[in-house]
Amino acid sequence: MEQMDSAEKRLNELGYKQELRRQMTLFKTLAISFSTMTLFTGITPLYGSSLLYAGPAPLVWGWIIVSFFTCFVGLAMAEICSSFPTTGSLYFWAAHLAGPRWGPLASWFCAWLETIGLIAGIGTQAYAGSQTLQSIILLCTGTNRGGGYLAPKWLFLCMYMGLTVIWAVLNTFALEVIAFIDIISIWWQVVGGLVIVIMLPLVSLSRQPASYVFTAFEMGAETTGVSSKPYAAILSLLVSQYSLYGYDAAAHLTEETKGADKNGPTAILASIGIISVFGWAYILALTFSIQDAAYLYDVSNETAGAFVPAQILYDAFHGRYNSSAGAIVLLFIIWGSFFFGGLSITTSAARVVYALARDNGIPFSSVWRRLHPKHKVPSNAVWLCAFICILLGLPVLKVNVVFTAITSICTVGWVGGYAVPIFARLVMAESNFNAGPFYLGRARRPICFTAFLWICYTCSVFLLPTFYPITWDNFNYAPVALGAGLGLIMLWWLVDARKWFKGPVRNIDATNGSV
């Protein structure tokens, strides 16, 4: 008889039977977690706006600051993951840590925050991936100055929808396929990241001095309307705060991971460490390689002023070789990162929807918790996520700030979901906590308190206006969208759901281990 995995034994103790295939190794779990965070997908789309607000110094040092505080969040989540190796992850943690009285409400709120964040996360990858593809097409057809083709909004939307559908199709196959692709992803990003970080400064005809990169504080008030230096510095940190999350992907896959009570926490912390180092190196490579900071935002430049990293790459390679081929190759590496990131986030989003449906927390739960009969993956949940993601992208045709809104919704929902179990862990009696192999001991209170405050700050700044004066064209409508969505969810709780939603539903008999 095969010996039961320690994480599977703990899963049974928590009231769940093993349904998903437990065959993922630490490396595969780390690959998916790393791919969800991704080296390029957070930094690349927001690099230009963050540089514009306050110049290079806040952008460069902001990454160090955000990485430092992210470690506190990672440590707090790693300890909880070690104790609760279930695919429901955050909202399951919230239910158990908050206790029988507050557990259902904590679970409900956390589950919906996480669901909103992850589905919007698919949208951020699809949008930024389409933006990169738009730049690749433009450079391949002759650049903006040479009569190149800049994809119009309708084609941009088609690219957005196409990526979303491809990710959904791939996620309907067996998990081994996704895991294999994500192993390609981690090497793609590590090797590709090294190529870009090393090659870009070497190819550039000139490099910015260290004094510019590390000390220059340059306001872009004429463009952004932001004249306050502290406010500009806060906005310049958004790129780092948007990039440094997603490490909870390892927790979503714990029911499919061998030794998840140890490997889950390891994957969370390793992902943060790897991305912190690589991310800073990428920011430095881009910033040192700037040829003319003002020209990056010129709408008549080669990339139509639409994508600052693309212009930096173009200036470097065209300046050296009088050709844009090198820039196109590196942009393709970056596009691949968006592709792999979107694929991984789709995997995570589907797991959360499946887990919530398993506990009857979604309308028509019986449909969304259904597993594919052959591949044993929640295929219906995958397509639900894809459909909602496509709806989120439709305003692209009429509104210019869609990416700002989707990014804010994604970050507030995703990171905000972290706050609920961490706060519950902070205030609960230590005697009620069943520690796993990874345990913080006496350090848990200061670590959880610091993590909770950092999450609250992060969520707040993503709801701030990013341009002044505020108009309909630049209005950050994320607070309105989130307020309406979460308001309806809480109203549903007060009117109906509190009567029947009790949090995670056990599907195994605790006394004898039978179903």
- Report the 10 Å Cβ neighbour count for 397: 12
pLDDT of residue 302: 86
Q: What per-residue confidence (pLDDT) applies to 190?
A: 79
Give the tokens for residue 329. Answer: 């190759």
Query: What whole-number distance in Å separates Cα of residue 355 and Cα of residue 350?
Result: 9
Q: What is the pLDDT of residue 56?
A: 92
Please give the chain's pLDDT, 515 residues, in tens. 445 545 455 555 555 554 444 455 666 666 666 666 666 778 888 898 889 888 899 999 999 999 999 999 999 988 888 887 665 567 788 888 888 888 889 988 888 898 888 889 899 999 999 989 999 999 988 888 877 888 888 899 999 999 999 999 888 875 667 777 777 877 887 788 889 999 999 999 888 899 999 998 888 777 778 888 898 899 989 888 888 887 776 666 655 555 666 777 888 888 888 888 888 999 999 999 998 888 888 888 888 888 889 999 999 999 898 888 889 999 999 999 888 888 878 887 888 888 778 777 777 767 666 776 566 677 788 888 999 899 888 877 776 677 778 888 888 998 898 999 999 989 888 888 887 888 888 898 999 999 999 999 999 998 888 878 877 777 777 888 888 888 988 898 898 888 888 777 655 544 333 33
The pLDDT assigned to 164 comes to 93
DSSP 141: T
Contact 348, 36 (CB under 8 A): yes
DSSP state of 439: -
132 within 8 A of 403, measured Cβ to Cβ: no
SS3 for 334-360 is: HHHHHHHHHHHHHHHHHHHHHHHHHCC
For position 476, what pLDDT does the model report?
76
Let me know: does 271 contact 37? Beta carbons within 8 Å: yes
Residue 253's nearest CA partner among 469, 55, 406, 36 is 36
How much is the pTM?
Answer: 0.85
Phi, psi of 150, rounded to the nearest 5 degrees: -95, 110
Q: How far apart are CA 8 and CA 24, in angstroms?
A: 13
Of 38, 232, 32, 244, nearest in space to 128 by CA: 38
CA dist 220 and 227 (Å) reads: 8
Evaluate whether 201 touches 285 at the Cβ level (below 8 Å): yes
Rounded to 5 degrees, φ, ψ at 24 are -90, 135
Q: What is the pLDDT of residue 38?
A: 63
How far is the C-alpha of 268 from the C-alpha of 74, rounded, in Å? 7
- What is residue 381's predicted lDDT score, i.e. its pLDDT? 85
Instruction: For the chain, state the CA radius of gyration.
Output: 23
Look at residue 194 in the predicted model and tell me its pLDDT. 87
What's the burial of 487, exposed, middle or buried (CB within 10 Å: 0-12/13-18/19+)?
A: exposed
Give the type of residue at 236: S
What's the DSSP call for residue 228? -
Sequence letter at residue 429 = A
Give dist(CA 378, CA 256) in Å, integer: 13
pLDDT on residue 505? 63
Q: What Å distances lie between residue 430 and 37, 262, 368, 469, CA to CA? A: 31, 21, 36, 50
Residue 512: predicted pLDDT: 35
Distance CA(368)–CA(218), nearest Å, equals 50
**Phi, psi for 257 (deg, rounded to 5):** -110, 135
Interacting residues of 94 by C-beta distance below 8 A, sequence separation 6+? 103, 106, 107, 109, 110, 111, 420, 421, 424
Residues 6+ apart with CB under 8 A from 45: 124, 127, 128, 131, 403, 407
Look at residue 249 in the predicted model and tell me its pLDDT: 67
User: What is the dihedral sign for C-alpha 97, 101, 106, 112?
Assistant: positive
Question: Which tokens belong to 311?
Answer: 């212009």
